[in-house]
Structure 1
Amino acid sequence: MTRTTADIGPEAADGGAVDRAVAAFQDGNPVLIHDAADREGETDIVYPASAVDADAVAHLREDAGGLICTAVSDAVADAAGLPFLEDELDHPAAADHDLAYDNRSSFSLPVNHRETFTGITDDDRALTIRRLADAAATAARSDGYDAEAFATEFRTPGHVHVLRGAPDLLADRRGHTELGLAVAAAAGLPPAAVVCEMLDAGSGGALTPTAAREYAQRNGYVYVEGAAIVDRLG
């Protein structure tokens, strides 16, 4: 059921911002997505993975500062044999996850593309991310893509953290993983999106939504609330 503006507030109901975010993705540009005040309460810079180059990685390092991750759809992760990382770790630290903001983490394997050197440089991470987008596109259109095919291109551990989207995206979970993938899907792009949390250099905490909006306005980026994406694309 579609919610009304009264239910979610005027900023969250800004479908125009969602349309602008989709258009930005189609042009290969990043958008800023705030998930929700009652969730992580963070704004991520989000790129279509297929458009990420070394300059984009530098942008994420310098203007966001969080962990640079690549989200792929559940179907792609399943085809490539990419598990939830916590399910694969046989260590007491991996048990009894009690996240304050969600039921589980989206983290899968951290990877490097096999053509990278250390994997951490801007060029290396950009290559890994673009190849993940290519792999996602291939897996989404081909029944023959599997874990062995993935392993011919990628190795783990690596420096790009892969996130596994929920099976029904926003109907199941409303994290930046799913919000970014929903925008990519609406833009007709491969099911792969890069997310990175925006941090405040002064406080060390998450950048406030007000500061994130101001940053978006100064730099000509689209800022959109997660609730608007859920309302329009969920």
Structure 2
Amino acid sequence: MRGESTGALERAVAAFRAGEPVLVHDADDREGETDLLYPASAVTPATVARLRNDGGGLIFAALPATVADRFDLPFLHEAVDHPANDHTDLGYDAHPSFSLTVNHRDGFTGVTDDDRALTIRRLGEVSADADYGVDAFADEFRTPGHVHLLRGAPGLLDERRGHTELGLALAEAAGVAPAVAGCEMLDDETGGALSTADAEAYARRYDLPFVEGAALIRALE
């Protein structure tokens, strides 16, 4: 690990260990977006409120391939037989990471801050339990629901360098449960992705770590 990359990673790792958020920008030549990421096991209703108010994009929970396989979660594009399921024009990636959408069965509609926090937090907690399999998952969660599950590439950053893999690699480096919650940060005025400069300003305003994907990748090599 080197210089600036080391410092950025150390601060991000410390934040994740404390259950605090980290802002991660993937790359200008990829999506060019900054995601607000949390360790899933630390998510509370206040976390969900921050994600939807300060992030504004899609609230998701990402799981590594080993955990997704244990829960028998497919890539959605491999499970859906429909003519709209065509991603050959996806300019920034080979295929999407989306899997099922889920709600926790103890919630009500599944969309409230309380309900989504319960769903995401439990996903984080059970992700670390090697004995928790698909039957237990089906007893506790239902699909469809209001939390989008994303599957990480099996090789993580060696195979794909999206926010899913960047967040999961950060969780692994921090030694927390292998599940990450996040949301893309959008600009309220333009409706587009929040600029990198504005994302960095947000991070400074709330004293949160901001990490460039490239720096994170270099630091973890």
- Give the TM-score normalised by structure 1: 0.91
2:156 counterpart residue number: 169
Q: Distance in 2 between matches of 1:96 and 1:62?
A: 30
CA distance in 1, matches of 2:182, 2:159: 19
- 2:108 aligned residue: 117
Residue 197 of structure 1: CA displacement?
A: 0.3
Q: 2:120 aligns with which of 112, 129, 136?
A: 129
Alpha-carbon separation, structure 1, partners of 2:88 and 2:149: 19
Distance 1:97 1:150, change over 3 A: farther
Distance 2:24 2:198 in 1: 13
The residue aligned with 1:214 is 201
Equivalent of residue 18 in structure 2, options 12, 27, 43: 27
Q: Distance in 1 between matches of 2:136 and 2:121?
A: 16
Distance, in Å, in 2 between the alignment partners of 1:233 and 1:82 is 27
SS in 2 for 1:94: coil
Alignment match, 2:172: 185
CA distance in 2 between partners of 1:96 and 1:175 (Å): 16
1:36 alignment partner in structure 2: 27
Cα-to-partner distance string for 1:204-227 (whole Å, 9 max, x where unaligned): 000010110011001111100001
- Unaligned stretches of 5+ in structure 1? 6-12
Mapping 1:125-164, distance limit 5 Å: 125-138=116-129, 142=130, 144-164=131-151
2:13 counterpart SS class? helix
**What is the CA–CA distance in structure 1 between the aligned matches of 2:113 and 2:87, rounded to whole Å?**
35
CA distance in 2, matches of 1:46, 1:40: 16
Structure 2 residue aligned with 1:8: none
Q: Under a length normalisation based on structure 2, what TM-score does the superposition of the two structures give? A: 0.97
Aligned counterparts of 1:219 and 1:145: Cα–Cα separation in 2: 36
Query: SS at the partner of 1:14?
Result: helix
- Please, which of 63, 81, 84 is the counterpart of residue 72 of structure 1? 63
Structure 2, unaligned runs of 5 or more: none
Question: Partners of 1:95 and 1:216 in 2: how far apart?
Answer: 36
1:81 aligns with 2:72: yes
CA deviations 1:139-174 (Å, max 9, x no partner) are xxx2x4322221111110000000000101100000
* Distance (Å, rounded) in 2 between the aligned partners of 1:208 and 1:155: 36
Q: Check conservation: 2:5, 2:219, Cα contact below 8 A.
A: no
Shift of 1:189: 0.6
CA deviation profile, 1:104-135 (whole Å, cap 9, x unmatched): 10000000011110000000000000110112
Identity of aligned residues (%): 60
SS in 2 for 1:194: strand
Is residue 5–residue 218 contact of structure 2 (8 Å, CA) maintained in 1? no
Deviation at 1:33, TM superposition (A): 0.2
- The ranges of structure 1 where at least 4 consecutive aligned residues each deviate by more than 6 angstroms after the TM superposition are none
2:98 to 107, 114, 122: 107
